[in-house]
Amino acid sequence: MPRVTFIEHDETIHEISADNDATLMEAALDNLVPGIDADCGGQCACATCHIFINDEWATKIPAREETEETMLELAEGVTEFSRLACQIRVNDTLDGLTVQLPEAQH
């Protein structure tokens, strides 16, 4: 099971083991990581699982698709590192991934 580290906006760290093939959103909810609302349940329809994934990992993750781009337009504080956690599936190549959380989901 790949290890993923979620860092809250106040820098609280949550290290979890994610199930292979779970989305980062599901992994966060299953492991009670706060700060991901996931209002639409993972259908890329709400932008309340907004996360940041920095450069070194970005290349190992499939790029944003159009729906994700559109929904991120609604989110607050979006940067080039912004992603929706429901659109990223965990696998062994992501072992050691670090994910940053925004101040709030909107």
Partner 1 sequence: MTDAATAMNADDAIPDPYSIPLDQIRMNQSRLFQNNAHGEYFRRLRKEDPVHYCAESEVGPFWSITKFDDIVKIDSNHKQFSSEPAISIGNPSEDFTTPMFIAMDPPKHDVQRKAANPGVAPARLADLEGLIRERAGKILDGLPIGEEFNWVDRVSIELTTQMLATLFDFPFEDRHLLTQWSDVTTNVDMFVSEEKIQERRASLRECLAYFTRLWHERADQPPKFDFISLMAHNPDTKDMINNPMELLGNLILLIVGGNDTTRNSISAGIVGLNQNPQEYDKLLADPTLIPNMVSEIIRWQTPLAYMRRTAKEDIEFQGKQIKKGDKVVMWYVSGNRDETKIENADELLIDRARARQHMSFGFGIHRCMGNRVGEMQVRILWEEILKRFERIEMVREPIRVNSSFVMGYSEVMVRIMPKDKH
Contacts with partner 1 by CB under 8 A lie at 37-41, 43-47, 67, 70-71, 73-74, 76, 103-106
CB of 85 to partner 1, least distance (A): 14
Token pair for residue 35? 């700060």
DSSP states of 32-56: T-TT---TTSSSSSS--SEEE--HH
Q: Quick one: 41 or 96, whose CB is closer to partner 1?
A: 41
Q: How far apart are CA 106 and CA 101, in angstroms?
A: 13
Kindly report the backbone phi and psi dihedral angles of residue 76, in degrees, each rounded to the nearest multiple of 5, phi listed first.
Answer: -100, 140
Q: Quick one: 86 or 99, whose CB is closer to partner 1?
A: 86
CB of 87 to partner 1, least distance (A): 13
The distance in angstroms from the start CA to the end CA of the chain is 31
CB of 57 to partner 1, least distance (A): 25
Q: Quick one: 60 or 106, whose CB is closer to partner 1?
A: 106
Token pair for residue 46? 């709400």
CB of 59 to partner 1, least distance (A): 28
